Structure 1
């Protein structure tokens, strides 16, 4: 018995209803395991049946075009306007939510359209469904908002350096997006976040060092330097990518110690003759360690 032909309009209208159902559930914040499985099965089955029909009723290319269009329209009409409307205070939360929602939608859509991945796209060497969805988010949303997100994130880092309490978990989620958006590469993290963060770190400690050199004794200055080095390592451990630690530590050492090497040596000799000088064990240890590394 010959299989009944499913015409494009009929099939796509049915699939579109299912996609709208999935998008609604994601927008409502329902747990991913509550997305209606039968809806997904119906979409997958319809797509499969329409792709294996004989020409001119084989619609694989049309489905790939619609897959792209579905993401493009959702990102440009819903996600991006919502992000742009958010005040900086809430931008990071919305950015994290938008990426999490996008990944949920990506998982469901790529499963439903998975026939394309296994056959149609593999034969034509086109980007896979998951890779394509990440590219859409990167080009249509991330490129538009990453500068504002970066500035807000760096402000939080400086706030913590000043002793403020910040949401470290939120900041880690934000910075993880800079890593994930690279799809296995670190280019987005390095170019769009890390480079700016390191420049800010350099400026931050340059300002602090110039003031502390005027105000503090050798012991006090070195204790502050030790605390700064410890804090930067703590910052990396909580929310930055591990590869940033060596770069951060090098900047702090340069701005606080290497740049003022001569002044610190003079300050130490001057203070050692003062009745207020204290040979703090931590300071002596740090001094010897830095000297051994050729920093002081």
Structure 2
């Protein structure tokens, strides 16, 4: 079955919303946790992207990997550093650093699992 452009646009929009949701969770903003259905939808979208050569982003296979990489690169300077700079007490600074490190590790793990299809299909070269 051939995918319609609107289907792929909706899936890419869902993928973008999923990444934004994850970032909002880390920022401590009110956001419901990911459930199994959310995770499976993200994984399925990435599978669809890599398995269908007519998918719009397949013109540049590294486009999604670059998006994944950008999320990780932006997280530290935009969220972690400002929150650390606000702390003046050593205890508060250490607590914030530990929280940020735990969030970063989870972000890397979560995105790595979701983007596993990119790795399996050889879409990125470390």
> TM-score if structure 1 supplies the norm length?
0.36
Aligned residues: CA RMSD: 2.6
1:116-155 alignment to 2 at 5 Å? 116-121=118-123, 126-127=125-126
CA contact (8 A) 2:42 2:114 kept: yes
What SS is found at the alignment partner of 1:3? coil
Specify which of 114, 117, 125 is matched with residue 115 of structure 1.
117
> TM-score if structure 2 supplies the norm length?
0.77
Residue 95 of structure 1 corresponds to which residue in structure 2? 97
Residue 36 of structure 2 corresponds to which residue in structure 1? 37
Residue 62 of structure 1 corresponds to which residue in structure 2? 63
User: Structure 1 residues 6 and 105 mapped into 2: Cα distance closer, same or farther (>3 Å)?
Assistant: farther
Unaligned runs of 5+ in 2: none
Structure number with greater CO (CA < 8 Å, separation at least 6) is 2
CA contact (8 A) 1:40 1:108 kept: no
Unaligned runs of 5+ in 1: 128-296
Larger Rg: 1
Residue 84 of structure 1 corresponds to which residue in structure 2? 85
CA contact (8 A) 1:83 1:91 kept: yes
Residue 3 of structure 2 corresponds to which residue in structure 1? 4
CA contact (8 A) 1:64 1:116 kept: yes
CA drift at 1:52: 2.0
Task: For 1:16 and 1:75, locate their aligned partners in 2 and report how far apart those are by CA, in whole Å.
Answer: 19
CA contact (8 A) 1:79 1:98 kept: yes
What SS is found at the alignment partner of 1:4? coil
Task: For 2:86 and 2:5, locate their aligned partners in 1 and report how far apart those are by CA, in whole Å.
Answer: 42
Task: For 1:87 and 1:76, locate their aligned partners in 2 and report how far apart those are by CA, in whole Å.
Answer: 18
Residue 107 of structure 2 corresponds to which residue in structure 1? 105
Task: For 1:108 and 1:73, locate their aligned partners in 2 and report how far apart those are by CA, in whole Å.
Answer: 16
What SS is found at the alignment partner of 1:120? coil
